Amino acid sequence: MPKSWKVAVIGSGDMGKQHVKGWQAAGHEVVSITDIDASRASALAQECGVPTVYQDYKEAIAEPNVEIVSICLPLAFHAPVTIFAAEAGKHIFSEKPLARNPEESAAMEAAVRKAGVRFGLGFQRNLSQGVHKAKELVQAGTLGRPVFFECDSVAEIRPKRIMHDANGNMGPLMDLGCHYFIMWQTVFQSTPKSVYARGKVLAKERPELAHIQELAIDSAVVTVEYESGDVGVFTVTWGMPPKFRMKAREDRLFGPKGGITGGFNNNPSKLNLYIEDGVEELPLVTYKSLHKEQFDRFVQALERQGEPAAAFREGNDILLLTLAIFQSIETGEVIDFKAFCKETSR
């Protein structure tokens, strides 16, 4: 009989709901839900049959029956809650991004190591079969090398205003870009070499954001060249007016011999492969829940002493790339990624 782990979910917003359902689908027991908004936590607890609700994460984590703490809070809380949970001897699964800066991530990693607990990071979109099919085809040379991977996202200003706060979730380059940056790294099997980005705050005049002291970059074009010679391009805006109807373009990956289009990291049921003058549909397994999938893998890592699908290494790689992108936007320069990492980790 597989072990059913006891999980405390912290945060009952969009991701909190996905985590509660994902843990339950994976056969584990969500013993409590915590949110400063008690009515939100209670509504989710009632919907999902979870017995206990807290407003204070410290109380929830201190409960002796809790084995795993599942963090679904805004970015600024990832570090303090991870550190508190590690010091309480609990395993931790946190939503992405890892942290706001290398100081926070180093403190998290040190606490986890000292406590001898395990840590997993929520990059569930990178488990999509579309990412792994793209990796397989690129690594087999089906498209030729180098390849360009163009990703695109267009959205109205985010209803969760904290997403626009430079001191909150830090805008789309931090909050959303991480899904694309880890996908590039996976598909190219390489590390960034140089980074160039231009970014603006297109929504700076919007009255809905007037209460935010420092607005994050909401729109950017990012170009990252990898050591492999492959190039990732990310065009993003969260600066459009409410109910804006223009949509993002489909993601595209192409090299000298062919190309692929599709929603690579969005749990797609197919990709389109273009070789010479032909086009072929590549059917893929669609997971019922990528969250269940990521929790299955985290528990396997706990039970067999293996590695989770993503943890500090992946989180730090993506954090450093994001910070290099911010530096390029600020300075207008091309950033030498190796030199940037050396400087930043000093």
Residue 86 or 138 with smaller CB distance to ligand NAD: 86
Residue 69 or 240 with smaller CB distance to ligand NAD: 69
Q: Helices 177-188 and 129-139, interaxial angle, to 10°?
A: 30
Residue 119 or 226 with smaller CB distance to ligand NAD: 119
DSSP H stretches of helix in 120-217: 129-139, 171-175, 177-188
- Going by C-alpha positions, the residue among 99, 342, 97, 331 that lies closest to residue 197 is 331
What residues form DSSP beta bridges with 32? 8, 52
Taking CB positions, which residue lies at the least distance from ligand NAD? Answer: 13
Cα 300 to Cα 197: distance, rounded to the nearest angstrom? 38
Residue 223 or 237 with smaller CB distance to ligand NAD: 237
CB of 160 to ligand NAD, least distance (A): 5
CB of 13 to ligand NAD, least distance (A): 2
- At 45 the three-state DSSP class reads helix
Residue 95 or 109 with smaller CB distance to ligand NAD: 95
Residue 35 or 109 with smaller CB distance to ligand NAD: 35
Cβ atoms of 19 and 285 within 8 Å: the answer is no
Structure-token pair, residue 2: 């597989």
* Dihedral angle of Cα 255, 233, 262, 75, to the nearest 10 degrees: 140
CB of 225 to ligand NAD, least distance (A): 26
- Rule CB under 6 A: which residues touch ligand NAD? 11-16, 34-37, 40, 57, 72-75, 77, 95-96, 122, 124-125, 160, 169, 175
Cα 53 to Cα 74: distance, rounded to the nearest angstrom? 19
CB of 342 to ligand NAD, least distance (A): 28
Neighbours of 19 (CB within 10 A): 26
CB of 163 to ligand NAD, least distance (A): 8
How would you list the strands of the sheet with 258-262, edge to edge? 278-283, 270-275, 258-262, 251-255, 148-156, 231-240, 219-226, 192-200, 335-336
- Going by C-alpha positions, the residue among 1, 19, 2 that lies closest to residue 10 is 19
Residue 78 or 226 with smaller CB distance to ligand NAD: 78
Residue 137 or 310 with smaller CB distance to ligand NAD: 310
CB of 15 to ligand NAD, least distance (A): 3
CB of 246 to ligand NAD, least distance (A): 22
Q: Which residue has the tokens 């079969």?
A: 129
CB of 261 to ligand NAD, least distance (A): 22
Cα 317 to Cα 304: distance, rounded to the nearest angstrom? 25
Cα 181 to Cα 126: distance, rounded to the nearest angstrom? 10
